Amino acid sequence: MFNKINRRQFLNHSSAALLGLSTFTLFSLLAKKGNSQTFNNPNLVNTPDILIPFLQEKIPQLMSQYLIPGLSIALINNSEILWSEGFGVKNYQTKTPVNHETIFAAASLGKPLFAYLVMKLVEKEILNLDLPLTNYTSKPYISDPRIAQVTARMILNHTPGFPNWSGDKPVWFETTPGTRFGYSSEGYLYLQKVIEEITQESFSSYSQKELFLPLEMNDSSYIWERKYEGKASDGHDRNGNAFPMRRPTEALAAGSLRTTSKDYGKFLIKMMNSGNNDPILLNETTLQEMLNPQTRLNQWLDWGLGWALELSNNKRYFWHWGDGNIFKSFTLGSREDQTAIVILTNSQNGLKMCEETVNFSLGGDHPAFDFNMIEY
């Protein structure tokens, strides 16, 4: 087992991580060495003729070990989808198989997509990262006067001071904007409303027009689409009990993404490349800004704009995880290596096999898996 509680008990990002200040010690993260079960044959990494057959054999074993009914994976190498495949079943009871077209609920993997769209607006000088968002709205969305301090940059690097979720209550401030890291999905919902006011368009429609259609992500949406009937996977709790995928009618940038691993791989490829005045690609300056450390978490982990960042194996990686309770997912990539991976699962146990799979597929040991908000 992963022994994640012992490895991560020192972490308390959301309440204690000061902006620009490392709150974790070298000893703390070194303590994890030797505890995780990782693939330990680095000679196989990025050798497709050996790597892919190995994964085809190993992934079903891990799924059985952790009771994960269905999974879809895509590997990117040299800015191309090297391999994508579905494993297992969409429903543990009906045994309907997962295939390339199977739709998964990707939860927070939708946040980097949203951030990409925001950065495109910044690039077009429609939005300024550092101006108060109240400059773009007809009235403040929150009565607390501190709302006038909140910027798009704060939202994307998780320092607006909001809670993660407010439930049915009005959003409140837990900390002064811009002073502390506090992972906030509410911040993304706020920025989504601002973008909708700027563009005078629903986010669902805007994301389809500006991202999914140009990238040919034909099976991706922030709302339920009729074509998902028969293609969508059910989710499963830790005991393998199946529950239908929710069918969102309202787009939520923070968590309602429905997609396939191959579609998400197309987005990861765009993160590998830049363009000059390109209608789809970000220019290099904008892309670098997105992937530059904005909020320091510890010696290995930072947050950029929309992406979590990791320094390991003497390389920089961008990464994110998705947690829809009965759907869990993970993605990680490196512009230096032009490699990336995305794993979508239909199980509450889904993240339990991701560290092993990522470490073997891309090499090295990744501190991202010690982030304290990841629920295994």
Report CA dihedral (109, 114, 115, 118) to the nearest 10 degrees: 180
Q: What mean pLDDT do residues 229-255 have?
A: 97
In 3-state terms the chain splits into helix, strand, coil percentages (rounded to 5) of: 35, 20, 45
Amino acid, single-letter form, for residue 146? R
Residue 315 has pLDDT above 60, yes or no: yes
**4-327+349-370 has which CATH code?**
3.40.710.10
Which tens digits make up the pLDDT trace of 189-228?
999 999 999 999 999 999 999 999 999 999 999 999 999 9
DSSP annotation of 208: I
Residues in a beta bridge with 97: 89
* pLDDT in the model for residue 46: 52
Domains of the chain by residue range: 4-327+349-370
Q: How far apart are CA 276 and CA 283, in angstroms?
A: 5
Exposure class string for 13-43: b at 16+ Cβ within 10 A, else e: bbeebebeeebbeeebbebbeeebebbeeee
Give the pLDDT confidence score for residue 226 in this predicted structure: 96
Task: Give pTM, 2 decimals.
Answer: 0.88
